[in-house]
């Protein structure tokens, strides 16, 4: 396993093109791969999670060619190959989307994944799909989905989760009748936006999304930049004395931008250009160094910006006071137990963090020191450690190659090593 040394930064002045959005790219591959006809996906991410989705859809019969950052997809027209094994790699989004999508179509599909994904539970999605009549033999991978025969029902989110919601909505595309999904915390809505784009009968009214059996057709999809990836350089610019960074083309979907709200409430000097684009708007975001006051994150913000919490917690080490992240229990079921790995990372570099009853607390202003972090194969922890290292006193991270799961060019683009 490689180890990477990150040095303390004495300045930071960068302009970066935002890495393409992983969530939107995975959805584009899965949904366009299932639709009838041709699609073009522009600005697609070729991170490992997206490539896992591409391989799965190819096995199901989709034709997918990737040329640079454009994908040309010929979908299976709602009728995938019927008896296949699908390797979702490390990608929870791929696994949940496929679980829902395939639950509604004839065939027998076995989902497998790497060791980390095989340790994650899919019980909530599986139970909701079972309420629709799905036959899914296990709530961990490997699991076999015997698809077909679904009926639309009314479901309610037990825990806010865009992946669970997506599984249900994709199942709803093939189910008889009407599927309704109610969420009282509005999670990322990329699936809804894309389903509408490819012609699904889907509407939202208040907290409830309604979907009916639909035939999907190919479309042109433009992938925005990934605000989760933009968070790393923006946080570095805020923390390093004299720092400045502009990230261009960042997706600014209202269900993804909580991270910016949290930073700005803490005094973060962040400015935006006017949003442009259609369904998934983008803008350029600039952050400049400033003194941060403590952060306070509510449960609903934490649910929506769940992937950014480790990095915000690391940045909170440099704020002057105690930061509080509520609803942090949701971090436990990710690629690692991110409550544990976030605290471990912060402590390894001299910071102070603890967890109690769903609340992650970080005491800012402790004197940071050089340290070693094992990111345990978790891309977000590797990048979080790098951010805290360069804003603090440097660090050595083992296992950094896992950044390719979401942001293959992270070290060159953001850190410069
Ligand atoms: C994702 C949703 C989030 C996030 C994950 C990607 C998605 O998970 O953590 O990395 O693409 O829908 P939840 O399902 O917990 O919201």
pTM over 0.95: yes
b (16+ CB within 10 A) / e for 118-151:
eebebebbbebbeebbbebeebebebebebbebe
List pLDDT tens digits, range 128-180. Answer: 999 999 999 999 999 999 999 999 999 999 999 999 999 999 999 999 999 99
158 CA distance to ligand 1 middle (Å)? 15
Alpha-carbon distances, residue 196 vs 37, 64, 145, 189, 199 (angstroms): 16, 22, 26, 11, 5
Residue located nearest, by CA, to atom 16 of ligand 1 = 161
pLDDT at 1 over 80: no
Q: Provide the token pair at 24.
A: 């939107």
Percentages (nearest 5) of helix, strand, coil residues in the chain: 35, 25, 35
Residue 161 CB less than 6 A away from ligand 1? yes
How large is the average pLDDT for residues 263-286?
A: 97
Q: Dihedral, CA atoms, 396, 398, 400, 405, nearest 10 degrees?
A: -140
Per DSSP, the three-state class of 99 is helix
Closest listed residue to residue 258, CA positions, set 294, 228, 284, 290: 228
- Beta carbon of 45 within 6 Å of any ligand 1 atom: no
Ligand 1 atom 15 nearest Cα: 161
pLDDT score of 417: 79
**DSSP helix/strand/coil, 188:** coil
Rounded to an integer, the average pLDDT of 176-187 is 97
- Residue 2 pLDDT class (50, 70, 90 cuts): confident
98, 160, 226, 306, best to mutate for ligand 1 pocket (most atoms within 8 Å of CB): 306
The verdict on the CB of residue 307 being under 6 Å from ligand 1 is yes
Query: What is the reported pLDDT for 158?
Result: 94
The token pair that represents 413 in the structure block = 């683009």
pLDDT digits over 223-233, tens only? 999 999 999 99
307 is annotated as an active-site residue: yes
Please give the number of the atom of ligand 1 that sits closest to the Cα of 27: 11
User: Does ligand 1 lie within 6 Å of residue 406's CB atom?
Assistant: no
d(CA 257, CA 250): 10
Could you tell me how far CA 167 lies from the centroid of its own chain? 15
In tens, the pLDDT along 357-387 reads: 999 999 999 999 999 999 999 999 999 999 9
- Decide whether any atom of ligand 1 lies within 6 Å of the 23 Cβ: yes
State yes or no: pLDDT of 39 exceeds 80: yes
Give the nearest ligand 1 atom to 303 CA: 16
Nearest CA to 310 out of 353, 270, 246, 272 is that of 353
Residue 241: both structure tokens together = 């004395």
Catalytic pick among 258, 307, 374, 378: 307
Instruction: Give the angle subtended at the CA of 215 by the CAs of 213 and 220, to the nearest 5°.
Output: 130
Band of residue 341 on the pLDDT scale cut at 50, 70, 90: very high
In order, the DSSP letters of 309-325 are HHHHHHHGGGSSSEEEE
Q: Work out the pLDDT band at 278, boundaries 50, 70, 90.
A: confident
What's 101-124 look like in SS3?
HHHCCCEEEEEECCHHHHCCCCHH
Helix (H) or strand (E) segment spanning residue 167: helix 162-172
Burial of residue 367 (number of CB atoms within 10 Å: 0-12, 13-18, 19+): exposed
Atom of ligand 1 nearest to the CA of 330: 15
Alpha helical stretches, state H, 221-337? 227-239, 258-265, 299-304, 309-315
Q: Quote the radius of gyration of the chain (alpha carbons, Å).
A: 21
163 lines ligand 1 (CB under 6 A): yes
Q: How far is the CA of 12 from the centre of ligand 1 (A)?
A: 30
CA pair distance 294, 281, nearest whole angstrom: 30
């Amino acid at each position: 396993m490689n180890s990477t040394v990150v040095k303390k930064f004495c300045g930071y002045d960068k302009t970066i093109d935002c890495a393409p959005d992983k969530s939107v790219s995975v959805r584009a591959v899965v949904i366009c791969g299932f639709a009838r006809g041709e699609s073009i996906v522009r600005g697609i991410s070729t991170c490992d999670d997206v490539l896992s989705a591409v391989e799965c859809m190819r096995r199901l019969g989709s034709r997918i060619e990737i040329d640079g950052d454009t994908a040309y997809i010929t979908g299976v027209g709602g009728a995938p190959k019927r008896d296949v094994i699908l390797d979702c790699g490390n990608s929870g989004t791929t696994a949940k989307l496929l679980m829902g999508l395939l639950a509604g179509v004839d065939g027998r599909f076995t989902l497998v994944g790497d060791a980390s994904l095989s340790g994650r539970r899919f019980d909530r999605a599986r139970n909701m799909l079972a309420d629709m009549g799905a036959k899914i033999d296990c709530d961990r991978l490997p699991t076999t989905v015997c698809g077909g025969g679904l009926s639309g029902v009314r479901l309610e989110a037990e825990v806010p989760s865009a992946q669970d919601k997506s599984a249900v909505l994709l199942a709803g595309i093939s189910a008889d009748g009407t599927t309704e999904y109610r969420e009282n915390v509005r999670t990322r809505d990329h699936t809804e936006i894309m389903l509408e784009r490819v012609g699904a009968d889907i509407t939202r009214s208040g907290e409830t999304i309604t979907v009916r059996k639909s035939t999907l057709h190919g479309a042109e999809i433009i992938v925005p930049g990934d605000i989760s990836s933009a968070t790393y350089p923006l946080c570095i610019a805020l923390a390093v004395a004299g720092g400045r960074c502009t990230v261009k083309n960042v997706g600014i979907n209202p269900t993804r931008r909580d991270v910016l709200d949290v930073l700005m409430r803490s005094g973060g000097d962040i400015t935006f250009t006017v949003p442009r684009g259609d369904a998934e708007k983008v803008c350029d975001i600039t952050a400049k160094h400033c003194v941060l006051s403590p952060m306070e994150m509510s449960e609903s913000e934490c649910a929506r910006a769940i992937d950014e919490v480790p990095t915000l917690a690391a940045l909170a080490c440099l704020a002057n006071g105690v930061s509080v992240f509520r609803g942090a229990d949701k971090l436990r079921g990710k690629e690692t137990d991110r409550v544990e790995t976030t605290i471990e990372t912060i402590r390894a570099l001299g910071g102070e963090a603890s967890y109690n009853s769903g609340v992650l607390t970080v005491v800012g202003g402790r004197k940071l020191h050089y340290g070693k972090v094992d990111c345990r194969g978790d891309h977000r922890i590797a990048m979080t450690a790098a951010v805290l290292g360069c804003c603090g006193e440097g660090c050595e991270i083992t296992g950094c190659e896992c950044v390719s799961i979401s942001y293959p060019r992270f070290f060159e683009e953001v850190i410069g090593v």
